[in-house]
Structure 1
Amino acid sequence: MNLRLLALGGAVAGAIALPLAMASAGPVGDEGRPAGAAVARAAVEAAGTRAAADGADPKAPPAEASRSPLLLGLGLATAARCGPELSSPDGVEAQTCVLSQGEDTWARTYYRNATGRALEAFLSLMGPEGRTVRTRCAVSAEDEPESCETPRERTRGDRAAYTAVTEFARAGDGPLLLRSGSNSRTDTGS
């Protein structure tokens, strides 16, 4: 009888300890990448795979909800609509998304600056009724993946009416190096 009780106690302790150990280990893969970039990349790849299987245009911006590993167990879904990953001949790479979670909407851009110098970047979230939120992003000269986002705001109207654009330029009155948007109509600067 005591042996059965000890075995049952061990099984209960293991059942409690295993999820805690897995949660403290964090997500597997994507080491060295910002967690937000991995989430957006996975959402874009999954949407492109689904679109290709459905016969749709795989380059069309996804509007699928995805689970963020940053929200472990909270039960909140984050919907991401991201434009294509773009790069400029000068060495700037970026992807810009509109994110929605619950009643909030905001914009986020994932970027990498391989130009060797600090840049100026502005991220704009444009919503219904001409409402715009603009954030200045500090783009250092480091050649590392980074992200920048606007403050979250309460969603007004249709979420599909929100778009985001990021513009990267040299400091001062420098030329536009890259414009990245949450829709499929984006371009590189001259």
Structure 2
Amino acid sequence: MRSNLYAMTAGVLLASSVAMAAQAQDAELTVSSTTWSAGETVPMRSVYDGFGCTGGNRSPQLSWSELPEGTQSLAVTIYDPDAPTGSGWWHWIAYNIPADTTAIEEGAGTAEGDALPEGALQARNDFGAHAYGGPCPPEGHDPHRYQVRVFALPMESLPVPEDASAALIGFQLNAKALAVGTLEATFAR
């Protein structure tokens, strides 16, 4: 009897999780930027300054709207799925952003994070810094895609340790998101 009850409970929880994940995939936020234009080339002021690149390494200004009911916090990621690593490249992860935030100013992704909303945290990017790191693909590659994603989340803080990897945070964001918005720009050198 107990094992049947556990099996039924697990089945209900799994079905609920799958339904919520499917609903989040259907719900989209509107994401815009005064720094990056969708489908266009990332400006040099946002390109990394290192690894052979000489950009300004300033995180883009971002705005979003159409948050779903129940949003308690937000997260922003910038990811390059075209990096020749076998697992892409995480350029920025900012999370635990208060739900009443509607924009982040250009350059907010510094190591100090002073311009981020109070309570927001930055995870370690693939350059090894708890900050924004701009595009810097290998020379001669076709343009890489830089995907900005804004996640609406049903909790005030993401349940991850302070030293969590970008992959762990990405897993949590995708599993828990109420809605996601995307803006994609490109860069090559």
Tell me which protein shows more strand as a share of its residues.
1
> Which structure's relative contact order is higher, taking Cα pairs within 8 Å and 6+ residues apart?
2
**Normalising by the residue count of structure 2, what TM-score does the alignment of the two structures yield?**
0.30
Tell me which protein shows more helix as a share of its residues.
1
